[in-house]
């Protein structure tokens, strides 16, 4: 069962953030400082999973639309569903190529 992280609705539609089991394990293995950064950026995705800037990139060449959010030396891979952002993995940038090949 995937973990779900919700915030109360304050009059605006918010996306629900859902962590896959693999993303939960990834998060558990990170240092507390990195976890804090990840949680901050997940709050941004909750408000708008399509923020402007170069931090988010669409992964091309795959059947389903996957996205990557860059945080320091880490990458968050996610997909956007109706009113839900599913976090697939939270990886060190060294592990990214192997993960993308497996999508």
What pTM did the predictor assign? 0.80
Domain ranges across the chain = 14-102
Tokens for 89, please give them. Answer: 């993995």
Which candidate, 35, 45, 55, 32, places its Cα nearest to that of 84? Answer: 45
What pLDDT does 1 receive? 47
Q: Which CATH architecture has domain 14-102?
A: 2-Layer Sandwich (3.30)
Give bridge partners of residue 69 from the DSSP assignment: 56, 76
pLDDT means over runs of 10, the chain (103 residues): 50 82 95 93 86 80 84 92 93 88 77
What pLDDT does 35 receive? 94
Taking the alpha carbons at both ends of the chain, their separation in whole angstroms is 20
What pLDDT does 31 receive? 94
């Amino acid at each position: 069962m995937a973990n779900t992280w919700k915030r109360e609705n304050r009059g605006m539609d918010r996306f629900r953030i859902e962590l896959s089991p693999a993303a939960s394990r990834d998060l558990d293995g990170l240092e507390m400082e990195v976890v804090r950064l990840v949680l901050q950026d997940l709050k941004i995705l909750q408000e708008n999973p399509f923020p402007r800037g170069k931090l988010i990139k669409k992964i091309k060449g795959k059947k389903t639309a996957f996205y990557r959010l860059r945080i320091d030396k880490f990458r968050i891979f996610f997909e956007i569903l109706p009113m839900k952002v599913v976090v697939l993995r939270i990886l060190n940038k060294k592990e990214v190529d192997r993960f993308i090949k497996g999508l």
